[in-house]
Structure 1
Amino acid sequence: MDGRSHMMPGQNPIDDSRQNSVAIRLEDVSKRFRLGTIGEHQRLTEAISSRIKSLFKPQTPASNAQPKDFWALKNISFDIQRSEVVGIIGHNGAGKSTLLKILSRIVTPSSGRVGVQGRIGSLLEVGTGFHPELTGRENIFLNGAILGMKRTEIRNRFDKIVEFAEIGPFLDTPVKRYSSGMTVRLGFSVAAHMEPDVLIIDEVLSVGDQAFQNRCMGKATELGNQGRAILVVSHNLAAISNICSRAILLEQGTIALDASPKETIRKYLQSMRYDAGRIQWEPEQAPASQEVRLHAVTVRNAKNPSSANQVDIDQPIVIELDYEVLVQGAINTVQIHLKDENGVFVFSSANAPSMSLQTDETFGKPLDVARYRTECTVPANFLNDSRYILSVFLGPQIGKPTIQCDSVLAFSVLDTGAMRKEFLGSWYGPVIRPRLDWSSRPIDSY
């Protein structure tokens, strides 16, 4: 470890008087993006690419419109001490990824000061820092060199990196042939085992399987206990609650709360913007890809055509997605994730034949340009009396969405007493409460 404060334009060293304890310091950090402009770029390659595109782009009145400013972050200030594991949570567009890119020195702040003490290891996107043509072995040494490590240091940690990533048989295969899960495993393993002073982890870990996510969280806790500062962005509220000593809630580019994970998660859930049983977007604001535009998401009881943020436990629950196919022949799939209010993953389902009780005639087939509605029905008496968070995903393949809406709706399942009958106690604890087929009968005595 080099023990220095790493800086970039807009970054400054941490004050020596507190240098031994503070790993990260932000003072009034803001980040502005100019929408519709081609004159502001972070990299030379962006400027060149933008200029070439402009030569072939027809000039229209709209293209001459004045650019608009969008503030992704506004006056962000906080310190993170060594040994702290801090979670960052917030809705999509809150500024989480922009904040991590500034700390990782990928993006420069528009104003304010940033100080990061020591070596930084970051895992922000699948494949970040990897050369696709190089093998896993070669990329390990490349990443170590980028982090400023000597070749002997990398060799000393090489076996642990490979063991943790579980890619031994594919070590000499080009990374471009790795699955997304393999790439994430290798990326995290490299970042964690290079002994960074600050480890920054984005939601990218959700690509890995549950067992690997658990190992990653365990490794993050271990590094925190060794005196490293860990910054984690995740929609997995259970993980934030379990491994973090502190959590920061971002809302529209500002800090809404910086407190214990329990307090921050409670405020986050209370701030769910779409706790009304339905969210509907205007076309220009709707989540969209080149082929599909999502118009609305609705939760309701099967017997009631109106949306509801509170549904009866004794009735089937219908989840509706309204979307529009924009390109003739496009293929679209629909998937949902449901979590409880503590972030526990309850289930995932999709309109694929392997996950549906009946055949969805649109699945895997080219679609006409039109509006569609996909419905998923959750059985009555299946979910417990609790609050649930819904995420939805659309795209040509299950697991590879082009439209991803995390925590798009929240709704509550209410116990109306229909299930209780002879039981008057508490159902608190399980996330599901299904009625199962039970029977008893006399059997012959021995």
Structure 2
Amino acid sequence: MSHPESPEQSKAKKQTRLQSVKGMNDVLPVEGIHWENLEVMLREWLTSYGYRLIKTPVLEPTSLFRRGIGEVTDIVEKEMFSFVDRLNGDELTLRPEFTAGIARATIQHNLTYAAPQRVYSMGPVFRHERPQRGRYRQFHQLDVEALGFAGPDIDAELIVMLSRLWREMGLEDVRLEINCLGEAPERLAHRQALITYFEAHAELLDEDAKRRLHSNPLRILDTKNPTMQDMVNGAPRLSEFLGAESIAHYQGVKRLLDDAGVRYIENPRLVRGLDYYNLTVFEWITDALGTQGTICGGGRYDGLIEVLGGKPTPAIGFAIGLERLLELYLEVNQPDDTADLDVYVVHQGEGTSRRAFTLAEELRDAGFAVVLHAGGGGFKSQMKRADGSGAAVAVILGENELNAGTAAVKVLRGESKQEEFKQEGLAEAIFGLLYGEGEES
């Protein structure tokens, strides 16, 4: 005789049920179709501008990110998934972003020795932060880098190609902000002026600003503290310290954007906190995602590869959070959530399963995407599966068709019709049925 579970037993069962790590989410098959479609769109767009895939390890030495991202950034201070390898004592980190790893690969393999490189990478990154809308502890980024190009033309190209992407995706509520960070000596002079200014207003600084005052004063400009806004708005602007070459580079970028008809807002408070960033910096922002409005951030970082031990190499790039991008895309589009499938093979009766198996292979040989029904079931239930699969046609094989060497083909999309064809030449017949060519048996 069985006894009902006690509340304690029920609670224990729930506690032992396996769950994903908080902030690290599964992508289920229906969602996977949207992900695949997005990735195909992105790869075609990148290929049209000559960018090629580069893949770097998910795991890198922790020192790479300390040097490449900066010791005093939130990412390094709070957000990295780091651990010590038990086998050899190495300090390792799951990548929190792509740029440092791509810069490391550029140095290790001397990628820019023969020619500049346009590269991209796509995949998961990891940050130990509080999960929020569109941003998780494991999330996905598209990272695009142009390595070895010094002029303003490549800066403008990256921005213009992003403008094209938003158009192709149908995203309208996206605005561009740009700024010029100048070069290291100009930023150093600005940094000293900021420290002097903030020290004179020390009574208005919050604890976070006081902590950053001497290590990273530029980050104070990003404060969201409303009590500091007026004071921060009066801080010295970097534009006041730019030299002729930096101004010329910035003007060159803006001219090309104007020529391409790309609208922008100049934001003097748009900065980066690390010394190797220089000249052009930009962000694409939307109000459609609430407070987490930046969907793409980029800029020039001519000093990074040298900081990591390589030869001085001009470079610029950007990153896009793919969860946020997919959310925006699905809000303005209603893409089909069925698989990109041509044929669903339905079969029933003695001996039909073996012929259906080989027939499906023959159709795949002809270039069709084919699902062969598995798991049994009557014609009615199989046809329901076929209709729900998203396939263009169902190929139906019963005992009568098997004996006659034929197969019935039912069109599942648009105007429904069914015809019977010889199995020999079935691929050509299906093509003709769908596109108006071919001969009926």
Q: TM-score, normalised by structure 1?
A: 0.23
Q: TM-score, normalised by structure 2?
A: 0.23
> Structure 1 or 2: larger strand share?
1
Q: Which has the larger radius of gyration?
A: 2
> Structure 1 or 2: larger helix share?
2
